[in-house]
Amino acid sequence: MLSFSQLFDALTTTFGTERILGAETQTRDPFVLVAGESIAAVAEFLRDQPEMAFDSLNDLCAVDWLAMPVRKGVTVEPRVEVVYQLFSYRHRHRLTLKVQLPRWKDDEQKTLPELPSVSHIWSIANWHEREAYDLGGVHFLNHPDLKRILCAEDWEGHPLRKDYEFPLEYHGIRGR
C-alpha cells in the first residue's frame, strides 16, 4: 500500500507540475489537484501502474463553488470542481483527485466547462459523468452517451448549480 505522499510524488515525477498542480494534505480527505486537460492521462496511469492499480472509481461528482465565505483570510474564486474518488482493491489504498474548472467556459454565461471523459478507463464513469453533466453542468468530452440521466431531456439548467432557479412551471405542471 502506497502512502498519499508516495502517490503524489509518483504523479509529479511522471506528469510534472504543469499537469499535477498540487496537493492538499491539511484536510480530512487529502487530494491531488490535476489540470483538467490531463485528467484522462492521469487516471489511466493510476489504473495501469501495478504498484497503484486503482481499479475502482467509487465516485465522481461536480461541486459548484459560486460563493464561499471568507475563512482564515482565504478567498476563493467561483469555480466548479470535479472530484474523483479512487480505490485499489489489490493494494487497499485510496486517492482523491480534483479538477478545478471555471464556472462557464470562456466566461460566457451558460456555456458549460469541458473536461475529458474517463468513461473509457472506468466504465462506471459513464453514469457518474452523466449525473455530473445533468445536475452540475460539466460537459465531458468524448463521452459515449452524454445525455441527461435524472432530469428530462428538455429540462433547462443544472439543478445543483448555486445560481439555478427552479422553474415555476414545467409542461403545465406548477412547481412550488
Catalogue all structural domains in the chain, each as residue range(s) with its CATH number.
4-163 (3.30.460.80)
| For residues 158-163, average pLDDT | 92
pLDDT score of 71: 66
The string of DSSP codes covering 79-146 is: EEEEEEEEEETTTTEEEEEEEEE-SSGGG-TT---EEE--TTTSTTHHHHHHHIIIII--EEET-TT-
* pLDDT beyond 90 at 109: no
| For residues 151-163, average pLDDT | 92
Report in angstroms the alpha-carbon separations of 48 from 9, 31, 91, 132, 142: 17, 20, 13, 25, 20
pLDDT score of 39: 98
Query: What are the pLDDT digits (tens) for 12-24?
Result: 999 999 999 999 9
pLDDT score of 120: 98
pLDDT score of 171: 83
Query: What are the pLDDT digits (tens) for 20-63?
Result: 999 999 988 999 999 999 999 999 999 999 999 999 999 999 99
| For residues 119-141, average pLDDT | 98
Query: What are the pLDDT digits (tens) for 60-103?
Result: 999 999 876 666 666 678 899 999 999 999 999 999 999 999 99
Q: How many CB atoms lie within 10 A of CB 166?
A: 9
pLDDT score of 140: 98
- Beta-strand relationship, 114-116 and 139-141: parallel
pLDDT score of 68: 65
* pLDDT beyond 90 at 145: yes
Q: For 38, phi and psi rounded to 5 degrees?
A: -100, 0
pLDDT score of 148: 96
